[in-house]
Amino acid sequence: MQRRIRVGVVGGTGYTGVELLRLLAQHPAVEVATITSRKDAGTRVADMFPSLRGRVDLAFATPDEAPLAKCDVVFFATPHGVAMSQARELLAAGVRVIDLAADFRLKDPAEFERWYKMPHACPDLLAEAVYGLPEVNRAAIAKARLIGLPGCYPTSVQLGLLPLLELERRRPGAIDTDSIIADCKSGASGAGRKAELHLLLAEASDNFKAYNVSGHRHHPETAQQLAELAGKPVGLTFVPHLVPMVRGILSTLYVRMKAAAKEDVQALFEARYRDEPFVDVMPFGSHPETRSVRASNQVRIALHRPGGGDLLIVLVVEDNLVKGASGQAVQVMNIMFGCPETDGLQQVPILP
């Protein structure tokens, strides 16, 4: 019988933390050994989150008291800056690290400092860190010690553009890579579990707005990864929006087809994702809804070409807390430890 994977979770009181606990509690090969919180140390997890009663029988511990170095893998469901302050020590102890924040996403420490307003604590580890998008980096993830998990918006944008950018790499001039538009909408949980004015019910409900149009932290990450996929810089306009719902992302992507205007893009997407357990390419002309992926690790993609012209519209939906964060983290862990990739992640989306 395979030894169970001892898991530590740093920062178990936020939305991604409790979502991670929900998924790990259902995983057949996992033992959650410790969960940390400085503020709520000593509080039983099930007292804070009654949804986990009978599933997680632990109390929060301070990071100093938690036996993180005895774990096989530690997830950081924390604000930016926490994982990079502890990663070196854990790696030296033989622990694998999966960071759900941005500490190991950007390869350029100066770019990290520009967007996150803090110097990087271990820039030498950035070269080793593997970007945790399974559909692209599965082989590297399997060998990795340190994972920088993609952001929620970047996951949807990359999966929506991946087959097209791979086509462009094989056949330069297939698409216009200078003017790609990502028009993205997210539910309020994407901002985290915190008290802020713009997230109050009376502020966010019955309202719809764009934000950070002049520059969002996910833009440099997305541009970096799209350039890797295309083999050259990609011109990306990224506009995020807050919509009055709890979970979900809908990204509408606009791409001009050029020399490959007659390419059967539906067949292209279906072939690329045929063996991907969590990417569903819907029939051409479909309209995926965020509720069709709610609480699941599923991504649904649909293609449109208005009037049969050269403009391709790619619709992508995901749950920002699952495939956009904690579910993807569990998927990455499964790959790292040789588990079936779907372990702990086979939940059917909930409706209504």
By annotation, the residues acting in catalysis are 152
Instruction: Please give the C-alpha separations between residue 201 and each of 96, 188, 196, 204, 244, in angstroms, as whole numbers.
Output: 39, 10, 10, 5, 9
Q: Are strands 96-99 and 73-76 parallel, antiparallel or unpaired?
A: parallel
Structural tokens at position 304: 């449109």
Sequence length of the chain is: 352
H or E element in which residue 299 lies: strand 299-304
Distance CA 1, CA 77 (A): 30
Sequence letter at residue 46: A
Helix extents (H) in the chain: 15-24, 45-48, 83-92, 109-116, 134-143, 152-170, 201-204, 218-230, 265-272, 327-336
- Which residues are paired to 59 by β-bridges? 44
- The answer to whether the peptide bond before residue 119 is cis (omega within 30 degrees of 0) is no
Q: Phi first, then psi: give them for residue 315, nearest 5 degrees.
A: -100, 130
How many Cβ atoms from other residues are within 10 Å of residue 192's Cβ? 12
Q: Which long-range contacts (CB under 8 A, 24 or more apart) does 262-269 make?
A: 263/167, 263/174, 265/163, 265/164, 265/303, 265/305, 265/312, 266/303, 268/163, 268/164, 268/167, 269/163, 269/301, 269/303
Contact 312, 305 (CB under 8 A): yes
